[in-house]
Amino acid sequence: MFRFGLCLLAAFLGGAFSIWMSQAPWSWQNEAAAQIQAPVPLLSRFPGDPRWYDADGHTPAEAVNIAVYEHCNRSVVNISTVSVRSDRFFLVEVPEEGNGSGAVLDQTGHILTNYHVVQGARQVNVTLSNEETFPATLVGADPVNDIAVIKIDAPAELLVPVTLGDSDRIKVGMNVYALGNPFGLERTMSIGTISSLNRTLEVQSNWVIKSIIQIDASINPGNSGGPLIDSHGRLIGMNTAIASRVAQSAGIGFAIPSNLIRRVVPELITHGRVIRGDIGISHVTVTEKGLRIARITAGGPAEKAGLRGPRVTRRGPVTLIDRGAADIIVAVDGQEIHNAAEFLGIFESKKPGEVVELTILRDGQPARVRVTLGSDTSGPESKGF
């Protein structure tokens, strides 16, 4: 009887406690319900707390993603191209279509993209965020850095320029957003992080772009030329390549830094090309001692300064080339060089009229030669498609 009384008392107390807890204004049930019905303001709780949402129910990370896309997506354009290739069997020209991405630079219609997106194209069309399409013309191109500027004649109110950021201030681990048109799917955004900095990427034989940004955001065919955006909505790079044998995202992508773009674009708009200092040496070969001059421009700066290329002699119908007679370049302005990319890269930021000092080996003896740079006239053959 005593045990039965204890059971009744325990049941009564348990029920009363449950009713009291359910009615208590500070109970965890009511607090959880309040969190769902009335989310607290953004950043008012510690990370991991279920109340870490904004008024629309987004986490801080989601809110940033949404804000970046809404701020930048109208600056992204879809670039479609038409080129031709020769069919050797039928001896006819076969049209080929291509797709890429770009970013609006200003309200006068200048569009930033990769050179390889428009290279060889006979027709280029740009589709804006409102799905209107305009024909484009080539303003200028820098093939060695894979940068091009094209222009469309569109109303200024339809053009939303992207904001350029400072690529020298970015850090490994920062969140980044790759915007573009992969596989022709317009204004797609993929999210990732900066995986590494100061990579080099060879875009032409013996020419590499330095300070390339490595990212893990998904980049696929069609993303080329699209902007790489930071969490403040600023362009910090231009997506240009993927490291994959199947030409699809493999977790490693590359972007041209914005500060290189910032330096190149004004020259492309003004001159149609980048004006660089030219040394007048078009080809070198690597030796154990340095870079041997393999081809020197006749009448160019290097020849005028007294540098020697291969010795050419003719004996009747026979032409003899003595490559061993050419000078071997060891250093430029005291900086040792080991390959053609390093040698050419030195002149990337130099202008015509600047003087460089080459340390060379001639007949096994060291010497120094000062060369006044000329003008590098390399660039796109035409300013139109």
With contact defined as beta carbons under 8 Å apart, do 229 and 68 qualify?
Answer: yes
Catalytic residue selected from 75, 83, 116, 167: 116
pLDDT (0 to 100) of residue 282? 80
Q: How confident is the model at residue 175 (pLDDT cuts 50, 70, 90)?
A: very high
**What's phi and psi for 324, nearest 5 deg?**
-70, -15
Q: Is residue 28 scored above 80 in pLDDT?
A: no
Q: Is residue 1 scored above 60 in pLDDT?
A: no
Average pLDDT, the chain: 80
Q: Is residue 380 scored above 70 in pLDDT?
A: no
Same domain, 266 and 280: no
Same domain, 320 and 335: yes
Residue 112 lies in a domain: no
Write down the residue that tokens 């290739």 correspond to. Answer: 85
Q: How confident is the model at residue 219 (pLDDT cuts 50, 70, 90)?
A: confident
Euclidean distance between CA atoms 128 and 311, whole angstroms: 57
Euclidean distance between CA atoms 144 and 206, whole angstroms: 10
Catalytic residue selected from 101, 110, 146, 167: 146
Q: Is residue 350 scored above 50 in pLDDT?
A: yes
Write down the residue that tokens 């950021």 correspond to. Answer: 165
Q: Is residue 335 scored above 50 in pLDDT?
A: yes
pLDDT (0 to 100) of residue 308? 92
Least confident of 248-252, 273-277, 310-314: 248-252
The range of the structural domain enclosing residue 322 comes to 276-376
Residue 381 lies in a domain: no
pLDDT (0 to 100) of residue 78? 93
Same domain, 283 and 234: no
Q: Where are the alpha helices (DSSP H) in the chain?
A: 2-23, 28-37, 60-72, 115-118, 258-271, 301-304, 340-346
pLDDT (0 to 100) of residue 193? 93
Span 234-246, pLDDT tens digits: 999 999 866 544 4
Give catalytic status of residue 224 as yes or no: yes
Q: Name the percent of the chain lying above pLDDT 90.
A: 41
Catalytic residue selected from 101, 224, 249, 258: 224
pLDDT (0 to 100) of residue 89? 55
Residue 30 lies in a domain: no
Q: What CATH number is given to the structural domain containing 244?
A: 2.40.10.10
Length of the chain: 385
Q: Is the dihedral angle over the CA atoms 7, 10, 16, 19 positive or is it negative?
A: negative
pLDDT (0 to 100) of residue 24? 39
Residue 123 lies in a domain: no
Q: What CATH number is given to the structural domain containing 351?
A: 2.30.42.10
Burial of 175 from C-beta contacts in 10 A (0-12 / 13-18 / 19+): middle
Q: Pick the more confident residue, 101 or 346.
A: 101
